[in-house]
């Protein structure tokens, strides 16, 4: 029987919500590698009644967790939550001694990895970090309170210091983690969010027929995603005489209204379009209609949309502060990466690309089926 690779994650798609597709892709890559039996567990609030389910051929098993609302006091219900994890494992007939790896996603769920380690010292604990707020200091109603911040740091550092291997979706996120006083990482590994190239790949969409240069942007409309910088850069290009340009935004959020208002007030409606979403099954086609993908986010730990576009043969541009910049060749940095909010620089870069159509070459592979086997080999050597 294969050893068990236990994935404990709050992020995993359902039929109703596609949140967490990158974790799904990672799990599928782990299964394809074949060296472990992969089991996915999803913590669920004790007041909710969601049942186990299957998504895309992956069975997802739920267990109850006990937390106070609005993240008032992280750790309050940990003992009881671990008891329900124990019951879940018993229902699945998973013996602690058969668990070779327990891979938790986000710091708060590291408590479950540490709990399983207490039952099986030979088990390797892995904690994967997805966002720059690695200890959840901005979560909940009391995020602005100093006492809450101190507790979150103490709680998070205590969890992290027990973990065998910390995985970051970029180098930058691990640097954020290491800045906290008192933290000691036993080991760390960068596992970039790879792309399933059976879902994202170049196809012919006939986009060259109308001679329009198409720019795409897929992201929530939040301040840090900074879509307004893209809008202002395209406005500059239009004023410079480049009329054959079209930008399509996909996403919703609190800054979308101000972006739409800016476009209306400046007579730019013919050059921009907005979509609330694109069905994930249609994303490959969407990316392939583009000539360039631009998301000038300046505080983003990675961003799968960049590599999805790239896998479709579409180059991308971003801003400093985004983890995806670690993929950019040093000598090409200024062609694809701007200073945050610098719409003039972005306009120059877009104009340069329109004229040259220079091929974008990245440092590392974006193929998840190449990245994950290397990661598993690293685990086995530990």
Residues 188 and 55 in one domain: yes
This prediction's pTM: 0.94
**Nearest residue to 46 via CA among 80, 16, 70:** 80
d(CA 307, CA 40): 25
Alpha-carbon distances, residue 270 vs 40, 81, 84, 264 (angstroms): 46, 54, 55, 10
Inform me whether the pLDDT recorded for 70 exceeds 70: no
Confidence of residue 73 (pLDDT cuts 50, 70, 90): confident
Residues 33 and 126 in one domain: yes
- 200 in any annotated domain: no
- The domain tally of the chain equals 2
Which comes out higher in pLDDT, residue 264 or 278? 264
Confidence of residue 143 (pLDDT cuts 50, 70, 90): confident
Q: Note whether 38 and 71 are within 8 A (CB).
A: no
- Mean pLDDT over 147-172 rounds to 94
Lookup: tokens for 219? 């992201």
- 199 in any annotated domain: no
**CATH assignment at residue 271:** 3.40.50.2000
Within the chain, residue ranges assigned H as helices are: 21-33, 78-91, 110-119, 146-162, 171-178, 227-239, 256-265, 283-288, 304-311, 333-336, 343-356, 368-381
- 361 in any annotated domain: no
Q: Note whether 226 and 194 are within 8 A (CB).
A: no
Residues 183 and 223 in one domain: no
Confidence of residue 207 (pLDDT cuts 50, 70, 90): low
Residues 339 and 302 in one domain: yes
Residues 185 and 221 in one domain: no
Residues 165 and 288 in one domain: no
Residue 276 makes CB contacts below 8 A (sequence gap 6+) with: 250, 251, 252
Residues 24 and 148 in one domain: yes
Confidence of residue 50 (pLDDT cuts 50, 70, 90): confident
Residues 184 and 314 in one domain: no
The radius of gyration of the chain's CA atoms, rounded to the nearest angstrom, is 22
State the chain's mean pLDDT as an integer.
94
Residues 65 and 167 in one domain: yes
Residues 300 and 250 in one domain: yes
Residues 164 and 15 in one domain: yes
d(CA 307, CA 287): 11
Alpha-carbon distances, residue 261 vs 221, 246, 256, 265 (angstroms): 14, 17, 9, 6
- Mean pLDDT over 283-289 rounds to 95
Instruction: Give the 3-state secondary structure percentages of the chain, helix then strand then coil, rounded to 5.
Output: 40, 20, 40
- 216 in any annotated domain: yes
- 36 in any annotated domain: yes
Residues 8 and 65 in one domain: yes
Inform me whether the pLDDT recorded for 10 exceeds 80: yes
Edge-first strand order for the sheet with 58-65 is 53-55, 58-65, 37-45, 4-8, 99-105, 124-129, 165-168, 188-190
The gap between the terminal CA atoms of the chain, to the nearest Å, is 21
- 96 in any annotated domain: yes
Residue 11 belongs to domain spanning: 4-194+368-381
Tell me the percentage of the chain whose pLDDT exceeds 90: 83
- 261 in any annotated domain: yes
């Amino acid at each position: 029987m294969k050893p068990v690779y236990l994935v404990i994650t709050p992020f995993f798609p359902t039929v109703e919500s596609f949140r967490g597709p990158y974790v799904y892709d990672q799990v599928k890559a782990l299964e394809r590698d074949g060296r472990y039996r992969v089991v996915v567990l999803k913590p669920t609030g004790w007041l909710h009644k969601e049942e186990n389910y299957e998504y895309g051929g992956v069975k997802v098993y739920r267990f109850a967790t006990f937390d106070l609302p609005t993240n008032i006091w992280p750790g309050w219900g940990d003992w009881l939550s671990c008891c329900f994890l124990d019951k879940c494992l018993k229902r699945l007939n998973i013996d602690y001694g058969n668990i070779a790896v327990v891979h938790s996603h986000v710091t708060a769920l590291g408590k479950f990895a540490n709990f399983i380690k207490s039952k099986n010292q030979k088990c390797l604990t892995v904690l994967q970090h997805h966002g720059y707020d690695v200890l959840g200091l901005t979560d909940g109603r009391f995020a602005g309170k100093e006492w809450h911040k101190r507790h979150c740091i103490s709680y998070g550092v205590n969890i992290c210091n027990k973990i065998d291997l910390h995985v970051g979706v970029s180098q930058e996120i691990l640097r954020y983690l290491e800045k906290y006083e008192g933290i000691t990482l036993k080991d760390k590994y960068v596992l970039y969010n790879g792309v399933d190239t059976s879902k994202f790949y170049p196809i012919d969409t006939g986009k060259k027929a109308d001679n329009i240069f198409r720019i795409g942007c897929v992201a929530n409309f939040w301040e840090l995603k900074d879509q307004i910088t893209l809008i202002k850069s395209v406005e500059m290009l239009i004023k410079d005489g480049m009329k054959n340009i079209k930008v399509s935004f996909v996403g919703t959020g609190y800054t979308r209204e101000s972006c739409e208002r800016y476009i209306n007030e400046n007579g730019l409606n013919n050059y921009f379009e907005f979509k609330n979403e694109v069905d994930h099954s249609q994303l490959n086609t969407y990316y392939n209609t583009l000539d360039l993908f631009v998301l000038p986010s300046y505080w983003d730990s990675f961003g799968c949309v960049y590599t999805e576009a790239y896998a479709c043969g579409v180059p991308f541009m971003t801003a400093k502060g985004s983890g995806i910049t670690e993929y950019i060749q040093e000598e090409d940095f200024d062609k694809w990466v701007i200073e945050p909010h610098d719409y003039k620089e972005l306009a120059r870069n877009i104009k340069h690309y329109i004229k040259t159509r220079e091929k974008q070459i990245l440092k590392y592979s974006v193929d998840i089926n190449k990245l994950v086997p290397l990661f598993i080999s690293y685990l086995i050597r530990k």
